[in-house]
Amino acid sequence: MTDKVRVRFAPSPTGRLHLGGARTAIYNWAFARANGGTFVLRIDDTDPERSTQENTDQILRSLTWLGLDWDEGPGAGGDRGPYFQTQRADHYRAALRRLAETGHAYPCFCTPEELEAAREQARARGDSFLGYQRTCRDLDPDVARARIEAGEPHVWRLRVPDDHEPVVVHDIVHGDAVFDVHELDDMVLMRSDGTPTYNFATVVDDGEMGITHIIRGDDHLSNTPRQILVFEALGFPVPAFAHLSMILGPDGKKLSKRHGATSVEEYRDRGYLPEAMVNYLALLGWSLDGQTTIVPPEQICRTFSLERISKNPSVFDEKKLEWMNGEYLNAMSDERFSREVLVPQLAAAGLVGRDAYTPERAAWFDLLSSVLKPRTTHTGDVVEKARFLFEGATVTFDEKSVEKNLAKPGTRALVAAARAALEALGEGDWVAERIDGALEPLPERLGASKRKLFQAVRVAECGNQVSPPLGESMQLLGRENSLARLTAAEEIAGE
Ligand code: GLU
């Protein structure tokens, strides 16, 4: 790449950052990183009714959480700002002045009623073109100036050159699309209240910010030929375009709230890791080699290329995301899992203090992490799986588990034998391996099935039949509580 890559993500703060927007941001970020380029974040807050500070904050938070650091934009500085469209009014005015001076823009005084009447007439004539009929395009400039000076309301329109070759959009994802300029309206650049339209503001910004590649959703594909005309009129180089196909829900319709959670923060709150989200979303339309599924963010930003973006829509599959999240959780070191997942989750549930991960207790948490990691698909899962460890000498029983495993006749003797065997282990021997070793010979000795004995002890210790492995669970519980729970279980075990 000879020109230094500059890309931008330009969300409108009219809602939260949703999965589609996050994917667009990821592709821009990854493309910048893969090419040693610059990732610009611009806030397209020109819609005053629907843009809110809260949405802006939420978008910035989501991007930060995902790890998509931007080089220029809110909080990051940069010399091509400001990076909020509402702060760029003078840039749009200056750009319009340039276009007016060079004859690329002209004022239009048609009222909405006149525009509608002209459209009706065109329809009545059977005209296929129902856009603006260019009524004011050839007004005498002096007359136009006088009307403006007299305070007559007007918009500014782009003078689409009559003799312009068809506009070719070279889209890296979708290939070339050709547009006849006669199908392209003399569109409004500046409204009568002095605010720029999206197609004008975005081109002024992209041009002034030196954007080399525009990567965005394909809902903007139809705007692109118009924007190309504006780039040309302003004398900016036309950037390269890559329009991303939609993300569909499992029912084949565009992913939306109907399909459940769609905002990034909802996924965060439901226990997904940012790395898993970035990996999963990146693969909704891009692939490393067509088969690798685990591609961590740092690898995405080394290997990302626009050529490997698919033009087919992709389908969001929460099960796959869940699976991927589990893979990322399981791949964490015990220590990282303890610090970033286990302790914060337990603390949020009030089971431990926020600073519980002390040097003295680190080994305990890390052991718990090692047994929970493979059983966790959402960060919050750890709370219910670990709760039995925080109940001291007694445990809350799951009734069904008791019925199936403890209440059956002949169980009491098994629990008593297990307790006797375990009592023989001293405090210093209270480790998973020795605990398992002490229980191991019992089934044969007592003529009971292995399953029956182990499930009875498991329910006695953990309250249910789906706990982490028994030896580790009892080690974590400690000798005293483990033995106390067996004693208590004997009382309710079937004779
Ligand atoms: N603010 C626009 C949007 O959120 C950005 C469009 C663009 O990337 O040009 O849809």
* Residue 393 confidence (pLDDT): 94
Structure tokens at 395: 């445990």
**What CATH number is given to the structural domain containing 440?**
1.10.10.350
Q: Is 426 exposed, middle or buried (0-12, 13-18, 19+ CB in 10 A)?
A: exposed
pLDDT at 70: 98
Structure tokens, 449: 């099935």
Beta bridge partners of 247: 314
Where does the pLDDT of residue 1 fall: very low under 50, low under 70, confident under 90, or very high at 90 and above?
very low
DSSP state string for 172-199? TTTEEEEE-GGGS---EEE-TTSPBPHH
Beta strand spans in 228-339 (E): 240-244, 247-248, 314-315
> Regarding beta strands 188-190 and 155-158, do their DSSP bridges make them parallel or antiparallel, or are they unpaired?
antiparallel
| Domain-located, residue 324 | no
How many angstroms is it from 12 CA to the middle of ligand 1? 7
**Band of pLDDT at residue 257, cut at 50, 70 and 90:** confident
pLDDT value at position 424?
A: 96
Of 206, 229, 244, which residue is a domain's last?
A: 244
**Same domain for 210 and 276?**
no
Which value, to the nearest 10 degrees, does the dihedral of the CA atoms of residues 201, 207, 210, 213 take?
Answer: 80
Tell me how far apart the alpha carbons of residues 438 and 209 are, in angstroms, rounded to a whole number.
71
Task: Determine, yes or no, domain membership for 471.
Answer: yes
* Angle in degrees, CA 434, 440, 446, rounded to 5: 135
Ligand 1 centre to CA of 11 (Å) is 6
Look up residue 4 and give its DSSP letter. P
For residue 435, the model assigns a pLDDT of: 98
Q: Are 370 and 432 in contact (CB under 8 A)?
A: no
Same domain assignment for residues 53 and 97: no
Q: What does pLDDT average to over the chain?
A: 95
pLDDT recorded at residue 144: 96
- Residue from 7, 12, 241 whose mutation best tests the ligand 1 pocket (most atoms within 8 A of CB): 12
First to last CA, the chain: 79
| 34 and 122 co-located in one domain | no
Q: What is the mean pLDDT of residues 377-388?
A: 95
Q: Which two tokens stand for residue 246?
A: 């939609």
Q: Give the closest residue to 224 by CA, choosing from 177, 188, 157.
A: 177
Q: Using pLDDT thresholds of 50, 70 and 90, give the confidence band for residue 346.
A: very high
Is-contact 263 60, C-beta < 8 A? no
> For residues 72 and 38, is the Cβ–Cβ distance under 8 A?
yes
Q: Which atom of ligand 1 is nearest to 9's Cα?
A: 8
Residue 168 lies in a domain: yes
Strand 6-9 to 38-41 pairing: parallel
Please, are residues 475 and 435 in contact by the beta-carbon 8 Å criterion?
Answer: yes
- Least confident span in 50-59, 81-90, 123-132, 209-218: 123-132
Last residue of a domain, one of 244, 263, 293: 244
Residue bearing tokens 């939306």:
256
Split into its structural domains, the chain has a count of 4
Give the residues across from 303 on adjacent strands: none
Q: What is the pLDDT of residues 3-50, one digit of tens each?
A: 699 999 999 999 999 999 999 999 999 999 999 999 999 999 988 889
Do 65 and 190 reside in the same domain of the chain? Answer: no
DSSP tag of 69: -
Which residue minimizes the CA distance to atom 9 of ligand 1? Answer: 202
Question: Residue 220 C-alpha to ligand 1 middle, in angstroms?
Answer: 8
- The range of the structural domain enclosing residue 58 comes to 6-73+247-319
Residue 382 counted as domain residue? no
Judgement on whether residues 123 and 234 belong to the same structural domain of the protein? yes
Q: What is the pLDDT of residues 266-302, one digit of tens each?
A: 999 999 999 999 999 999 999 999 999 999 999 999 9
Any domain includes 82: no
Q: Report if residue 15 sits inside a domain.
A: yes
Q: Which atom of ligand 1 is nearest to the CA of 44?
A: 1
Provide mean pLDDT across the span 444-461.
95
CA 8–ligand 1 middle distance (angstroms):
10
In a domain? residue 83: no
Q: How far is CA 311 from the centre of its chain?
A: 20
In a domain, 345, yes or no: yes
Mean pLDDT across the stretch 393-408? 94
Are 344 and 417 part of one and the same domain? Answer: no
Q: Which of 104-118, 120-134, 479-493 has the lowest mean pLDDT?
A: 120-134
Q: Is residue 414 predicted with pLDDT exceeding 50? A: yes
412 and 481 assigned to the same domain: yes
Q: Which pLDDT band holds residue 320 (cuts at 50, 70, 90)?
A: very high
Question: Mean pLDDT, to the nearest integer, of 149-153?
Answer: 97
Q: What is the DSSP string of 215-273?
A: EEEGGGGGGHHHHHHHHHHHTPPPPEEEEEPPEEPTTSSBP-GGGS--BHHHHHHTT--
Out of 244, 271, 301, pick the residue that ends a domain.
Answer: 244
Give me the torsion for CA of 276, 278, 284, 285, rounded to 10°. -140
Whose alpha carbon is nearest atom 6 of ligand 1? 10
In single-letter form, the type of residue at position 88 comes to: R
CA 462/CA 395 separation, integer angstroms: 7
Q: Judge if 123 and 240 occupy the same domain.
A: yes
Cis peptide before 313 (omega within 30 of 0): no
pLDDT, average across residues 412-421: 96
Give the ligand 1 atom nearest the CA of 14.
4
Looking up residue 305, the CATH number of its domain turns out to be: 3.40.50.620
Name the residue with the closest Cα to ligand 1, atom 5. Answer: 10
The ligand 1 atom nearest the CA atom of 202: 9
DSSP state of 339: I
Query: In this structure, are residues 7 and 215 in contact, taking their beta carbons and an 8 Å threshold?
Result: yes
In this structure, the answer to whether residues 217 and 95 fall within a common structural domain is yes
Ligand 1 atom at minimum distance from 217 CA: 8
What is the predicted pLDDT for the residue at 436? 97
Closest CA to 105 of 186, 183, 164: 186
- pLDDT value at position 466? 84
* Radius of gyration for the chain, computed over Cα atoms and rounded to the nearest angstrom: 32
426 phi and psi, to 5 degrees?
Answer: -80, 175
Q: What is the pTM of this model?
A: 0.90
Catalytic residue among 4, 253, 257, 400: 257
Range with lowest mean pLDDT among 45-49, 100-104, 234-238, 436-440: 45-49
Q: Which candidate, 238, 247, 221, 468, places its Cα nearest to that of 369?
A: 468
The candidate with the shortest Cα–Cα distance to 417, out of 446, 452, 447, 460, is: 446
257 classed as catalytic: yes
The enclosing H or E element of 283 equals none
**Residue 342 and residue 476 share a domain:** no
What's the CA gap between 491 and 391, in Å, rounded? 18
The mean pLDDT value for 64-75 works out to 98
Task: Name 314's bridge partners.
Answer: 247
Residues 102 and 234 in one domain: yes
pLDDT at 263 over 50: yes
> Can you list the positions of beta strands (E) in 5-102?
6-9, 38-41
- What residues are in contact with ligand 1 under a 6 Å CB criterion? 10-12, 44, 202, 216, 220
My answer on whether 158 and 137 are in the same domain is yes
DSSP type of residue 85:
G
What count of Cα atoms within 13 Å lies in the side-chain half-sphere of residue 493? 28
197 CA to middle of ligand 1, Å? 12
- The residue behind tokens 């934009």 is 73
**Residue to mutate, 88, 202, 231, 243, ligand 1, most ligand atoms under 8 Å from C-beta:** 202
pLDDT in tens, 114-129: 999 999 999 999 988 8
**In the predicted model, what is the mean pLDDT of residues 414-436?**
97
Q: What is the Å distance from ligand 1's center to 24 Cα?
A: 10
Report the pLDDT value the prediction gives residue 2, as an integer from 0 to 100: 46
Q: Choose among 191, 188, 181: nearest CA to 132.
A: 188
Candidate of 9, 41, 43, 44 to mutate for ligand 1, largest count of ligand atoms within 8 Å of Cβ:
44
